Homo-oligomer: A and B are copies of this chain.
Amino acid sequence: MPDILEDADRLCAKTGARLTPLRRRVLELVARANAPVKAYDLLSQIDRTNTSAKPPTVYRALDFLIDAGLVHRVEALNAFVACPQAGHGHAAMLYVCENCANVTEVQGARPGQDHKPDGFTVKRSVIEHYGLCANCL
């Protein structure tokens, strides 16, 4: 399996984004968890190596990673997951198991097709679109 960190290095090299050690460390922590991670959990993990880490430290790193397309925010959980396909167009659907917390990311929501992972049983869906209404366009 292609390493998420190497992909991130490549992607950032291409786009000019600066994947600093701190940001890379946060990405590593998010990617290593195979479940959505909370910001303050990341913070306490960073703290083990860098006592100066404070909330803005981790939120800024996460903002960078999200902008770079390396991490997604899971809105209904206030948590974060690493994107398995860094740099894709980014209309991603997440399938989150409420038992084991595993997240499957599906891309390219083509109308009509159902991209639901095999065997996944959906209990609740969050579907929110943000943009401009006809009046405000």
Contact = CB atoms under 8 A, between A and B. Distances in A.
A133 B100 contact: yes
A91 interface: yes
- Closest 10 pairs between A and B when the two form their complex, measured CB to CB: A119-B134, A99-B136, A97-B133, A112-B112, A123-B131, A93-B127, A75-B75, A122-B131, A126-B128, A75-B76
A104 interface: yes
Contacts of A128: 74-76, 93-94, 96, 125-126
Contacts of A100: 133, 135-136
A113 B128 CA distance: 15
Interface residues of A, number: 42
Interface of A: 74-76, 91-100, 102, 104, 109, 111-114, 116-137
A114 B109 CA distance: 11
Given A111-B112, A125-B91, A127-B126, A132 B74 contact: no
A123 to B, nearest CB: 4
Q: Which of A94, A104, A132, A133 neighbours the largest number of chain B CB atoms within 10 Å of its CB?
A: A133
Contacts of A74: 128
A39 B27 CA distance: 32
B129 A120 contact: yes
A123 B133 contact: no
